[in-house]
Structure 1
């Protein structure tokens, strides 16, 4: 029973967004698509423990969802063309054509979710729910609202799309360029959700895949190349981010022989045409880390200059925090602490665990390990991620000699 339930969970995480996207493309009905996908998962939970897990779980789920949609459409007497198209849907793993006009249901779905008719918060939430299959409860926690509130917001967003007649397609011409920043922001959030300490790795992999498709569609857009490069350079370290016990490792602690050098090479090559936009600058910073043979060889002055540029483009508190850290390594801890104090002006970073950890490390490098350990413990108390909490406490214990 447990193995079958786990198989349903695994297959659902991968296949659910594909099924929903495919059914929306054919039927144009968001609610029908999500209901049929959910019913397929419920059927799997009932049948797989009894009959065994099928050889192609994703294909099985697609078939069940498709058949359920066919039943509903037949009863509703929907036009014959939609029925013929829907009947052709089979295994969601089958490749689709990717010529000059990229054909991918989820890419279409992302552009639909990111339509300017929706507020930015609604675009992000709808994409997380529909494209990435993130449960409404998880999205609600991220937005600091209740699950019922988030469910209502998602319903309103889908209703708004239907009422506005938003087409289910990748836009062309000027509309494509106008819509691009919103799509890039959503992909960035998807990757971040998968790459964070307690995130779901499949989200990061999915973000890389969708970024590749977008780069194929828009090879002339430098920030698309920059975003894909950023993803690849970070994702190249995924196998080395934890030790054998599952503890997080810093860049200095990681075994660099385990980094994916093919991904690093691809990311660096993409930077040649990526320009100096916000995503490209972040990718150049990641490249400085990824190409350094050891932590001691890291080109911190170049990283600091990239953060200087990034802070001019996006002077957010987090960017200014990272700039302070880079300057601390490039030009000495006092320089970093001074910039950190500036970034904290106004209280934007009060209680923010990475700010406390950054101050702790810079304080240690300035020669005060006792205060550094106390700051690491304060960061551990404030952080929500258990892996990060353990890493911060481990660093504090090292400094305390425990």
Structure 2
């Protein structure tokens, strides 16, 4: 049965009473996509090993929901309804003549439906399994983390491309190639043996970090909260992995000061609005990472420590910029990413002067929004208003956050 048909299987998953308005149906579908997309894809892909098919089937299920829910009403279990329709679509493809003509995988029975036995009323959180699957050595290393961000966490190619400062078409092609590789290799969707986990762990940690970075302006009710859940769950699973606990600390501490709405720079935020409970929780994770017995702190531990220094302003009333600079210097030595180098240049501009910060800015920031925002701020503080205005314009062009854009436009107006 295709996603466009009807059947008892769909009707049995959460009854609905009466019709719903188009707005109600769309709102329910958007909520399911926002909160459950990764879980639904993980469940569907676990049965077939075909990630692209799982995404296509789920997309058709969402389309069917937008067509039917205004007539039949929103089901009491929207996720169960969606996965039933998507599962039926997968069955159609699996049993189609195109699939049957392929050479069956050695050791399998083509007559067996790989989706049998799926509990439609329970949507398990199998995202960690899918994250480790996407970190399989057979997948291009450059595509592993972006693939997790799209397939498991639900971000689109444009959002991921912006995070990586690459053109959206380039990222889209990279993701398509990775999915084809998974389908051809029939990579199993299971958590690997613990002996294989260390090899895959960096990419998984990077994906959870990427989720937190892309949602950096959101609160705990969004995917930012999901990033925290995944980080803490992963750290608890691994128990003694310092970078996993460090990432849990980093995501939790960054979440402690997030407030959607008007953008306010960190150093200007009201510390009374920060979440004391999340700060305490994050510091507990950071201490656990620091006491793991490792001699040299890793990237996430250093970043979490930087957040902890900033959040300590809630207690002391001041920011220890010397400590922040020292930590960023260590971070650049451990993980010399464009982002860490730009952040260090910004701190140098504050602890020394704007010209020193400009000299410390790394090359290669043409598509990296923080590079232009930092350059604009340093130029403005150096008294080079015309150049700062041009840099602010470029930073605004690269910004898709409305509140941040408004803030940058205000800064540009002042230097003009």
Q: Report the TM-score range of the alignment, normalised by the length of the smaller protein.
A: 0.7 to 0.9
Q: Does the C-alpha gap of structure 1 residues 260 and 164 become closer, same or farther in structure 2, counting only changes over 3 Å? A: same
Gaps spanning 5+ residues in structure 1: where? 97-103
Residue 289 (structure 1) aligns with: 310
Contact 1:211 1:228 in 2 (8 A): yes
Residue 185 (structure 1) aligns with: 206
Residue 27 (structure 1) aligns with: 48
Determine helix, strand or coil for the equivalent of 2:74: coil
Q: Write the distance in 1 (CA, Å) between the matches of 2:269 and 2:73.
A: 41
Q: Write the distance in 2 (CA, Å) between the matches of 1:296 and 1:248.
A: 21
Determine helix, strand or coil for the equivalent of 2:268: coil
**Equivalent residue in structure 2 for 1:85, among 106, 114, 117:** 117
- Aligned runs of 1:1-400 on 2, under 5 Å? 1-70=22-91, 80=112, 82-86=114-118, 88-92=119-123, 104-136=125-157, 138-139=159-160, 143-146=166-169, 153-195=174-216, 202-239=222-259, 242=261, 247-275=262-290, 276-293=297-314, 297-329=318-350, 331-332=351-352, 334=353, 337-344=355-362, 347-349=363-365, 353-362=369-378, 370-371=383-384, 373-383=385-395, 384-385=398-399, 386-398=402-414
Q: Write the distance in 2 (CA, Å) between the matches of 1:196 and 1:250.
A: 11
Contact 2:386 2:415 in 1 (8 A): no
TM-score, structure 1 normalization: 0.81
Structure with higher RCO (Cα < 8 A, 6+ apart): 2
Shift of 1:282: 0.5
Residue 101 (structure 1) aligns with: none
Residue 99 (structure 1) aligns with: none
Q: Write the distance in 2 (CA, Å) between the matches of 1:8 and 1:126.
A: 23
Contact 1:20 1:34 in 2 (8 A): yes
CA deviation profile, 1:314-345 (whole Å, cap 9, x unmatched): 2334322222322344x44x2x632540334x
CA deviation profile, 1:293-316 (whole Å, cap 9, x unmatched): 279511211111111211211233
Shift of 1:381: 0.5
Determine helix, strand or coil for the equivalent of 2:313: coil
Gaps spanning 5+ residues in structure 2: where? 1-21, 101-108, 291-296
Q: Does the C-alpha gap of structure 1 residues 83 and 112 become closer, same or farther in structure 2, counting only changes over 3 Å? A: closer
Shift of 1:391: 0.9
Q: Write the distance in 2 (CA, Å) between the matches of 1:395 and 1:295.
A: 29
Deviates more, 1:212-221 or 1:164-173: 164-173
Kindly tell me the number of residue pairs found equivalent between the two proteins: 372
TM-score, structure 2 normalization: 0.78
Determine helix, strand or coil for the equivalent of 1:280: helix
Q: Write the distance in 1 (CA, Å) between the matches of 2:203 and 2:232.
A: 16
Q: Does the C-alpha gap of structure 1 residues 291 and 60 become closer, same or farther in structure 2, counting only changes over 3 Å? A: farther
Deviation beyond 6 Å, 4+ runs, structure 1: 74-77
